[in-house]
């Protein structure tokens, strides 16, 4: 009887992570993010909830569609070359004292010479939220292209001018 109880307990422990992952991130059904897709309007509250959930659970390897609005807090004055091309970076205040790094793939965007955003600008961003760690997170895929694993078009609107 004791060994049977231990076996049942062991199976329950092994299945617990599977049950949790089936529930999706943060107690939500993962399919609902994919079904609802990209928010039609800025939804900083959703982003803050997603960010908080990822900070509690840790990296999941799942990227989330986000549509954000806010004010630019800081801008990297020079574009940086990475293995995937030239990128511009700025930090966007999304409320509740939270800011997030925005990554713009300058090779993919129809935009003027970097920087085309300045501290204090009002910005709207649609892109992919990635969370690798507390210090390595941001919103990228802010350009017009899609990919095999990313179906949403991204863009950045700066003071009413749209760059994609």
Alpha-carbon span 18 to 87, nearest angstrom: 38
> Which of 66, 58, 65, 46 is CA-nearest to residue 21?
58
The pLDDT score that the predictor gives to residue 5 is 39
Provide the percentage of residues in the chain whose pLDDT is more than 90: 68
pTM assigned to the model: 0.77
The pLDDT score that the predictor gives to residue 30 is 40
Tokens of 13: 């422990």
Alpha-carbon span 119 to 126, nearest angstrom: 19
> Which of 64, 109, 52, 118 is CA-nearest to residue 91?
118
> What is the rounded average pLDDT of the residues 96-103?
97
| 115: pLDDT strictly greater than 80 | yes
| 36: pLDDT strictly greater than 70 | no
| 44: pLDDT strictly greater than 60 | yes
Q: Are 135 and 58 in contact (CB under 8 A)?
A: no
Tell me the DSSP string of the chain.
-HHHHHHHHHHHHHHHHHHHHHH-GGGS-HHHHHHH-S-SS--HHHHHHHHHHHHHH---S--EEEEEEEEEEEE-SS-EEETTEEEEEEEEEEETTEEEEEEEETTTS---SSP---TT-EEEEEEEEEEEETTEEEEE--SS---SS-----EEEETTEEE-
**Cβ count within 10 A of residue 129:** 21
């Amino acid at each position: 009887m004791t060994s049977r109880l231990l076996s049942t307990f062991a199976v329950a422990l092994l299945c617990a992570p599977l049950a949790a992952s089936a529930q999706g991130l943060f107690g939500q059904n993962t399919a609902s993010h994919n079904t609802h897709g990209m928010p039609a309007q800025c939804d900083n509250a959703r982003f803050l909830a997603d960010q908080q959930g990822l900070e509690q659970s840790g990296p999941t390897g799942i990227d989330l569609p986000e549509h954000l609005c806010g004010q630019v807090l800081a801008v990297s004055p020079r574009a940086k070359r990475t293995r995937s091309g030239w990128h511009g970076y700025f930090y966007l205040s999304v409320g509740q004292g939270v800011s997030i790094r925005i990554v713009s793939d300058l090779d993919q965007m129809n935009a003027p010479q970097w920087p085309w955003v300045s501290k204090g600008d009002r910005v709207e961003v649609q892109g992919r939220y990635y969370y690798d760690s507390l210090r390595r997170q941001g919103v990228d895929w802010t350009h017009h292209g899609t990919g095999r694993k990313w179906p949403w078009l991204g863009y950045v609107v700066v003071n009413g001018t749209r760059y994609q």
